[in-house]
Chains A and B, each alone.
Chain A
Amino acid sequence: MQHYLSLAIKSIFVENILLAFFLGQCSFVACSKKVETAIGLGTAVIFVMTITTPASWFFYNILLRKGAPLLMWLNVPFLDLSFLGFMAYIAVIAAMVQFLEMFLDKYFPALYAALGIFLPLIAVNCAVLGAALFMVKRDYNLMESIVYGASTGMGWAMAIVSMAAIRKKLRYSNIPAGLEGLGIIFIMTGLLAMTFMCFSGIKL
């Protein structure tokens, strides 16, 4: 239990996928204009990541890695399909997002309307793919990959929600013309990443 808790804290704060690895920037920048939208997108990302990371785990461990059960059953133990990982995970993520889209459209139409174009964009959110790849690289087991997926999503959601609130305050700022819009957002993201470095030495 304690192991999973420290994994969660590590992936939310210490190795925040957005502020330490700078993954998932595009939707972070594009969708952080309103706090409500940010919360919606953040929730969607948590949801998608909690499903896709273990789904990718199944793909990798049953089909792709060397000596995977399916490959053994086909009697090709020499085959290592992990080079297909990128394709496989992207397919899994895209399918999951399609499913989520239909689900939200039916049961939460308000949220669906608010997210608009950005929901399909989760499919190309590099944080989601990044989580799948980190999961493979760090050799997590199934339970770990579920915890990792969920908490990485939470870290991303926390970052985008706090950014949305900061942007709300920035509306009253007098930003130089050349930096308005994206420029100041990137500077602010850098500053936010610097403030998150206070966690960077924690060993769990």
Chain B
Amino acid sequence: MRLIADLFDKVRPNFEKGGSLEFAEPLFEATESFLFTTDKVTEGKTHIRDYLETKRLMSMVVLAVVPCTLMAFYNTGLQRLLATGVANPSILKAMGIGAMVFFPLYIITLIAGGFWEVLFAIVRKHEINEGFLVTSLLFPLILPPTLPLWQAAIGISFGVVIGKEVFGGTGMNILNPALTARVFLFFTYPSNMSGDKVWILVDSAKDKLIDGFSGATPLAVAAAETGGNVVAALNKAGFTYSKLFFGLIPGSIGETSALACLIGAVILIWVGIASWRTMVGCILGATVVSTAFNFLAPASTNAMLSLPFYYHFVMGGFAFGTVFMATDPVSSATTSTGKWIYGILIGVLVVIIRCVNPAYPEGMMLAILLMNAFAPLIDHFVAEANIKGRKKRATE
């Protein structure tokens, strides 16, 4: 360690003002603070003393995503092995296949997104922020495993540049960059981002598939059901509740497992990074609306309405979105009351989009992004109400 530290001290003058490599200062700074604790303090008049700086915060988020990532490796491989008729797939083999899917997507995300991040940092002379590590890890996890790599590169470029860097970088964006990237891809290349063909890594021309292979996600199965009983239809398609909960189902690479997301949620809440208010709000909102829909269901031909609320939690991206996307401290509401409202509205919207909008059986990412756009408004009204309340108390 001493050796590396000495090396850094030796080359440092080159990167300081007037040095020959002055333009690459952000790169140097990023590498150094990645390996060592930075000795920099905040500039300007205001200071906050806290152990939790962005680097630690982002590292904790990365740690919390690890269970989801491992589950992503396993499930992506497992789905392929099952689809090609392997009876008892070994865990290691499945994880090997999953890793072969995840890492190319992850690396292309790091390269493409990192390029823009570094470019903006050098030109605009701000630091390269660890926030990008979180964005680049979350982004591949919410993609379908069959996505072409160039599309992932285009998506993350849009997310980083338009979603974040034009606003000034980490902490100054309005919408979550990873979600912006995903939703951009969703509307730009719908055939690669939705439907029944994209969720399991098989090539129907080359691979020998099992009989009755469909590749549909549980939400697609539920949305396609025209009879009265959605739960029976799900069970018939092989999606029992425990399978949905553990995440052994087709879907985006890393968002299928509610269990892994739950572990992540415990870590994030325990270390105090993600807001439990937002998470509870999401669950509350979804519960209330889906229960209300259950009462409407007998009068309608739409079978999605009759889906019990606890099924919504384990299908599609609900769990992943609630834990890792909705709680993003930058793009979510910042006031405590605001977080409740924000969370509840996400829960309400996601169930509405899933049940009422036939075009998109999965609504979590869209719902969160929409509420990202409304979060400043929620905060504004909460702050105004606070000011009014205080004024009233002061005059009494």
Contact = CB atoms under 8 A, between A and B. Distances in A.
Contacts of B376: 162, 165-166, 168-169
A200 interface: yes
Given A170-B174, A187-B162, A197-B187, A175 B167 contact: yes
Interface string A167-194: 0111011111001000010011001101
Nearest to B374: A162
> Which of A196, A199, A201 has the largest count of B CB atoms less than 10 A from its CB?
A199
Contacts, number: 90
B360 A184 contact: no
A200 B359 CA distance: 8
B187 A165 contact: no
B259 interface: no
Contact of B166 (A161, A169, A184): A184
Contacts of B173: 173
Contact of B366 (A35, A162, A174, A195): A195
B326 to A, nearest CB: 14
Contacts of B369: 194-195, 198
Contacts of A197: 183, 187, 366
A203 interface: yes
A74 interface: no
B238 to A, nearest CB: 27
Q: Is the interface of B mostly helix, strand, loop or mixed?
A: helix
Contact of A168 (B162, B166, B360, B380): B380
Contact of B377 (A165, A187, A195): A165
Given A176-B124, A195-B369, A198-B363, A184 B167 contact: yes
B162 A191 contact: yes
B373 A192 contact: yes
Given A165-B376, A166-B174, A166-B373, A199 B357 contact: yes
A197 B363 CA distance: 11
Given A173-B168, A191-B174, A203-B358, A162 B162 contact: no
Interface residues of B, number: 35
B370 A198 contact: yes
A168 B384 CA distance: 13
A202 interface: yes
A169 B174 contact: yes
Interface string B352-392: 01001111100100110110111011011000000000000
B311 interface: no
A111 to B, nearest CB: 17
A198 B186 CA distance: 11
B377 to A, nearest CB: 4
B234 interface: no
Nearest to B184: A194
Contacts of A188: 174
A103 B374 CA distance: 32
A68 B353 CA distance: 43
Contacts of B353: 198-199
B172 A195 contact: no
B167 A191 contact: no
A172 B349 CA distance: 29
B110 interface: no
A173 B172 contact: yes
B144 interface: no
Contacts of B126: 174
Nearest to A188: B174
A175 B363 CA distance: 31
Nearest to B377: A165
A194 B367 CA distance: 12
A195 B380 contact: no
A151 B56 CA distance: 47
B163 interface: yes
B175 interface: yes
- A-B pairs with lowest CB-CB distance, top 5: A201-B359, A174-B168, A198-B366, A165-B377, A173-B172
Interface of A: 35, 161-162, 165-166, 168-170, 172-176, 179, 184, 187-188, 191-192, 194-203
23 contacts: A35-B380, A166-B373, A170-B167, A172-B172, A173-B173, A174-B126, A184-B167, A191-B163, A191-B180, A194-B183, A194-B184, A194-B187, A194-B369, A195-B175, A195-B369, A195-B370, A195-B372, A195-B373, A198-B366, A198-B369, A201-B359, A202-B356, A202-B358
Given A194-B184, A198-B353, 19 more contacts: A35-B380, A161-B377, A162-B373, A162-B374, A165-B376, A165-B377, A165-B379, A165-B380, A169-B379, A172-B172, A173-B167, A174-B167, A175-B166, A176-B168, A179-B166, A191-B163, A191-B180, A191-B373, A195-B183
